[in-house]
Amino acid sequence: MTLIQKILVGVDLHHGDRHASREISEESQAAVAEAIYLAAVSGSSITFCSVLEISAQCESLMELDQDTICQSVKTIAHDLLVRLVNQAGANGLVADCVVRVGVAAEELSKESIEGKYDLLMIGMRSKQRASSILFGSTAIKLMRYSPSPVWVVKPAEIRVIRDVAIATDLSPAALPAFHLAVTVARAIQARLHVLHAVNLIDLRYLAMAGMTEAELDQFEETLRKSADDQVRDQLHQTDFRTLPHGVKIEHLNGAADVAITQFIANQGIDLLVMGTHGRTGMTGLHLGNTAERILSALQASLLAVKPPQFSLPHPH
């Protein structure tokens, strides 16, 4: 059984040219709200972490007046995080906070390793506010490099999650995601949907090779049955029977990224859980342009889960 005992929440305090705003962004508020709710229902502790990304110009100023400037920026960040710690404490949770300096994705990854966290949660900036810097930036880098599962919370997701989906490409890399999806769905009393996309485009080539329509139908039926058997085999390796609202298996048609995003939108799914293949990307997809497309089009939060053997590569 997968347990969530320690949650790390990345809190973005940058606003315009300020390195530490005194207000929490809408995106970070969403991540904080989800984290507090999840911690309350799972009995987890929370650490709020803010990374101050200091420019070269700011670093030079700090060298001239290091005690005053650096301490002032860190104090502002720390004081705001303490407010979040108190908010969590008011909900009966154990919480603390930490301020780090450096590149956000790298420092959050390091913190997740040093603190041995079970889950890292961050907010996603909207396209309108960050179209030039979000996609391929912190969220993507964390999904690539953080050893902890990364939950990217959409700003609109400040609500009780009722439907969770796990997408699988049937590879072993999907199993850790299966376990965590079941854990999350059980904790938040959600329905679980298991998604597998079957792309039948190759059937056209088989038809061109001379297969009859009856043979094509039989091939498709065999393909779907094999996929269904493999999905059920993966599911039965979890403790899915403990879920209060059960599991529904969905076999989708078409390319994974398109079929999954359409299903999520049509069914009103709140959270999509996907496994990763280490450095090569999300299950059935590839980190890079496809991940950017699915993140921008996905009408849900996204939880990316690493394989057990994952080790932290050097970010590029």
Please tell me whether residues 193 and 215 are part of one structural domain: yes
State mean pLDDT over 12-39.
77
Query: Residue holding tokens 């710690």?
Result: 85
Q: Residues 132, 208: one domain? A: no
Indicate the range of 129-138, 254-263, 264-273, 303-312 predicted with least confidence: 129-138
* 69 and 200, same domain (yes or no): no
Q: Which of 132, 159, 186 is the last residue of a domain?
A: 159
Domain edge (last residue) among 159, 186, 205? 159
Question: What is residue 165's predicted lDDT score, i.e. its pLDDT?
Answer: 95
Residue 242 maps to which CATH number?
A: 3.40.50.620
d(CA 295, CA 134): 10
Distances (CA, A) of 46 to 184, 204, 249, 275: 16, 52, 33, 23
- Provide the domain count of the chain: 2
**306 and 276 together in one domain:** yes
Does 51 have pLDDT greater than 80? yes
**pTM, full prediction:** 0.83
Structural domain including 34 reads: 1-159
User: Quick one: pLDDT at residue 307?
Assistant: 76
d(CA 235, CA 3): 17
Q: What is the pLDDT of residue 56?
A: 54
**d(Cα 155, Cα 298) in Å, to the nearest integer?**
12
Residue 9 and residue 76 in one domain: yes
Q: Are residues 306 and 179 in the same domain?
A: yes
Summary mean pLDDT of the chain: 80
Please tell me the least confidently modeled range out of 77-81, 113-117, 123-127, 279-283: 279-283
Q: Average pLDDT of 158-166?
A: 77
Going by pLDDT thresholds of 50, 70 and 90, the confidence category of residue 95 is very high
Q: Are residues 173 and 150 in the same domain?
A: no
Q: Are residues 3 and 92 in the same domain?
A: yes
Q: Are residues 170 and 258 in the same domain?
A: yes
More confident of the two residues 26 and 193 = 193
Tokens at 180, concatenated: 């965590």
251 plus 274 within the same structural domain? yes
Using CA atoms, how far apart are residues 195 and 259, in angstroms rounded to an integer?
9
CA distance 316 to 308: 22
Residue % of the chain over a pLDDT of 70: 74
pLDDT at 280: 45
Closest residue by Cα to residue 72 from 56, 54, 91, 92: 54
22, 145: one domain: yes
Encode pLDDT of 101-156 as tens digits: 888 899 999 999 999 999 999 987 655 444 333 334 788 888 877 888 999 988 76
Query: What is the predicted pLDDT for the residue at 288?
Result: 46
**Same domain for 287 and 274:** yes
* Contact status, residue 187 vs residue 38, Cβ threshold 8 Å: yes
> What number is the average pLDDT over the span 278-288?
47
pLDDT tier at 55, thresholds 50, 70, 90: low
291: three-class secondary structure by DSSP: helix
What pLDDT does 219 receive? 80
Single residue among 159, 194, 220 that ends a domain in this structure? 159
What is the model's pLDDT at position 6?
Answer: 97
